[in-house]
Structure 1
Amino acid sequence: MASKTEFVRSRIVKTYDLDEIEKLIKDAKVAHIMLTDPTPVVDEESVMTRLSALTLRSSDGMSCSCCGVGPFTNRAQQTAHYKHHWHTHNLKRKLFGRKPISLGEYNYRQDESSNVSASDSEGEDNPNTTATELFAAATRHCKAFYSNPKGQVFCIYRCLLHHRKEEMSLDGEGHVWSRRVKELLSPGFGRWAVLMVSGGHFAGCIFTGGSDAIHKTLHSYTTRRGQGMAQSTRDQTGNAPKSAGASLRRYNQEQFLAHVQNILVGWNDDLKGCSLVFYRAVGAVNQAAIFGKPSPLRKEDPRVRQLPFPTRKPTFKEVKRVFQTLASIEVYDSLQDFQKALLSLSGGKLPVKTNSDVSIAERAKKAQKPPAKVFDRAKSRERAPRELPTQVTSSEDEGPCYIDSETPADWIKTLSEQSTNGVITNSRKDLLNDCVVPSCVESDSESETVEKKEMKKKKKSKKVEDKTSVTSIKKGPPKIPANLRKMWRTIMDKDYTTLDTIIESWEGDIQAACNIQDPIDGNTALHKAAIAAKPEMVTQILSAGGDPCIKNHGLQTPYAATPHQDTRIAFRLFQAQHPDKYNYSKSQIPGPVTAEQLEQEKEKKAQQKKAKRQREKERQIDKLKAAKFLQLPDEKKKKVPEEEQRCFLCGNQLPKVPFEYDDCKFCQVPCLHSHRKIRPLNMSV
């Protein structure tokens, strides 16, 4: 019997970890299961010469020169030999330049192959089946397998090593495989591009050394919700719908293709520097978005390769997952672990040694397991018989009282005594607890003990409250040094803008003083300077050791507490100048900025304002021209040059093909209809 394969975990090494990769692929060789014998080169001349050699040697023509058999006694025996599989096998060997084999050797090979196939069908422990399954799993796998002198086996995706049209396994010794895996260490190999298009979604990213350098996502409404089919695919079925939604989806499909191609054209220089470009685009429409005419990518490019595994909807998160999967190299510590993992993925089984008698006995024990208990769920469970309570009517209490085996003795008497004494309980459980002992004197003593316990608990709680109040009075708020209070007053004063004199004359640890929190609101000196909108003080406190990650009672950092733009820029400028001084990830500062970047942003905003003023000026001029044009009668409007023609009703610019009637031009159909209704009134006037 074959045992089930165990799941073996592997160690993951990323391709951009060059130090780990260099140790892993040093003197690495491709696994033998990746290699096949090179196909013999058969040209026309060699085939013709070998065919000419296949002639009948005997004069009577009753022998076979290919198999070396003859002469035959009759024509029927010769025909039967030519129809035999042995002759066909020898004929193929002769064509490929190999020697023929005898009939006994041919029968031996046939018997051997039949035994192997029979053992495969039985599923018993046979090493040939394991080798066959290993070879089949390796040849069908999307990864290539290598081994190094340390005994480790590592797997890498084939698409990183060669294009799918390259026949890599024809190399008998694996030199090409070894050379390709060493290209992982070549400079510039770690720059990859991943592009995905599906269902109106586009996601692309260019990775450099494990980090994303450029990325872009795009979505357009091209697929009808709930139908699962793009509009272009629906139109190809023969009956194209004419609804408004279908027209919108067709327009969005064209715009989507144009946008994706424009993105790739903008990435032209970056794509040229990529060593590999991976894509996922199923269908002609999606492939047209990546390999269309304006796009710089072509399918014939050896760098462009398909993703070897299924993916989800194209998003930036999915693109990063795909990149991390491609860059992962699985490393197994031994060949046995690798075989277990490979066969577990392919559904194969590893052989188990069955030589010992102990294993046979263990199998017999496992086979003779006791049968499991069968539960009849349809059969209801038998309930234990329960004594019904008896109904008794008491004189003191209105209504019936139910008594069963659990009711204590003299319960009715106790209830009547409690009711006469003014002690009335609301539940039967309380009465049962009180009536465990039948005598009333003992019940009174128990109530007294309960009251004593409650009094002790109250005294203990009072003592705890007194202790807590005393400790709170003793502790009190922490004392703030006078020089620190002076610093805070200087920061909040409007007349002061710097802290040079205070910092220079400070006695003690200035860093600890800057990080002391105000007990009222929890603000530090940096909080107060940020709230007071004093950028210069913020820079001085940060230089002195003020931590920008401390939060006040409102859970705000100094950067989040200030609403002033100049103060926030001061934080970002300090981060750019001192990137390693604080843990800025906890300070809520969005990122560093330099003075040059600020100047560029100012120039950009100035240009935007200038362009906006120019557009506003042009809009005003256009309004004046439209008003002047509308003051003219229709006859004079027709005589205006075509360059200055406008809509006869609203005065807007005309489209390339205006709407006309009776030499009157309009920008849209509603203007034409309105003018047609107003014109008879004007003509009558």
Structure 2
Amino acid sequence: MMNIKSEVVKPNTVRVYDLDEYEKLLKGIRVAACMITESHQIVDEESVLKRLNKLTIDGATDGNCCSCCGVGPFASRAQQTAHYKHHWHTHNLKRKLFGKAALTLGQFSSRNEDSSVSGSDSETEGSSSNPASELFAAATRHCKAFFSNHKGKVFCIYRCILHHKKEELSTDGGDTWVERCQRLSIAGYQRWAILMVSGGHFAGAIFSGGVAVVHKTHHSYVTRRGQGQAQVNRDQHGNAPRSAGASMRRYNQAQFLQHVQDIVASWIDDLKGCYLVLYRAVGSLNQSALFGKNSPLTREDPRVRALPFPTRKPTYKEVKRVHETVASVEVYDSMELFQRALIASTSKTAVKTGTDSNIDRNKKTQKSPSKPIDRAKSRERPPRELPTQIVSSEDDGPCFIDSETPAGWIKTLSEQSSNGVITNSRKDLLNDCAVDNSSDSDQENVSARKERNVKLKKKKKVEEKQPKKAPLKISANIKKLWKIASGKDVISLETIREEFAAEELRAACNAPDPADGNTALHKAAIADKPHMVTEILTAGGDPCLRNHALQTPYAAAPHPDTRVAFRLFQAQFPDKYNYSKSQIPGPVTPEQLEQEREKKAQQKKAKRQREKEKQVEKNKLNKFLHMTDVQKVRADLMMCFLCGSKLPRPPFEYSNFTFCSIKCLQNHRNLRPLHNSA
């Protein structure tokens, strides 16, 4: 077998629009041998029956066996389902696709690398693998087609520029592939259009050879930074946000779709002359921009084909890079170098997927504490401690044990693996096979659970028997202070000041009521007592304390006079409290209050004067409208004879009558015969 760990082979690159170099490659062109379907051998009936019996294990055709792994028959349906879900069966299916033989359970368990399809497997079964079948499987599944010429060079061309994915070309070495390659050397077949849409970005261009004839880009703000998806897609998950930014992104999304469709519609004549229309639009939202109702493009068009490789953000620079990539032809000097590069690329992708998954798994366990939480993205699963790995004496492969693993499970697993039965979980083993293996450890686990439940019940009973905390006792003086603050009678705080010491009065003013959390300052503010509010603030009542509704005394005051008392006290004593937490808007002096009152009085006076002037104008208009046409002409006022509004310069006239508009003139002319007859 060829050595997979060979050096990386760098091929030469030739562009399709470089006609001189490309036509040199086409001399003596033919389909590469790795793409030609192998001829099937004709076998007799006896050999076919032998193969069927071998696949179904001694002729068992009831479907209760696995023909891929060679195990069975299964004792129950649950065991068969568990086997099909096991990694051993999945790995053997992948090996079968590459033409390799299946591994036994011991070989699969003793492997060091789980994800490598080749690698260590090549050492254990060098005689069973077939390099020709590996090349055929890799070449037929590749996004490129492979050809050779008379000099023995092998070159690769993307399939998307040769045929549509729904068009199946024969792989028997016919002339169809050769004719498609030769067609690209004609000038008319090198006119391609490339369109890309993603995340509110659009970029498109039409190339004639290596030159961009028409190109256009457009960008719109439709995706919130860090959210990971467009606003329209975010709204489909429910609980659509109602912020200004979300509304802007929804509007921009509709405008973006319309703008892209207008651009594509304006290129309708240029697109008709294109041999290929290559696009990159992932998702139904992006595809609707290219294949909408008014778009000249349809998915059924054989010229419209998707790009076979991932791309970056749509820009004009990225469109040119994509065009060069699609038009590039990789040329290998010999078939041996090509085969080495092809097998190395397929093996590296297989190994890379396995290593990447392990790296991602390790990255998930390391959480950055400073990373902000984005509620729009899906949550990552919390890391869990991995079970310890040990090697059992009954089996060669590794087994995983944690605190929940029942005793005797390793022995049961080894016995069932020798019989060809693999279960996917400990529940299946306990249900199917561990009925007879019930040991003392299981009984100990049950007894431990019972003891734990008894302890929890005892703990609950002790908590219920404990006496509840008695409510705090409030002194009679504090209750009297609350009654004075919230009562209807206007009583000064001096009447009870002698009953308190200096510190006791301050503590009494800040004592909260257990019912609603209101202090004496809250109660005075709610009762609309500005004088009492000033006295309590002077005695030490803190305006920053909040009640159970999280309201400060100023926020709880419903009357404007009481709120003014807080602002006056703040202007008089600016350093006594931390007013930034009290929600008081700011201090005010009596002079400022007087100025505000005068200003409001002047505003009311000016409003009354405007209303009087409006009433005079209204009376004048009514008097003019009640006049006859003769009286209106004699009055000689610059007013419309029909509606009484001011006349333009020059006015509309007929028979010495003036009007503000043609409509008034026509209506007056229609109504005048009625007035004359009257």
Return the TM-score normalized by structure 1: 0.40
For CA contacts below 8 A with separation 6 or more, give which structure has more relative contact order: 2
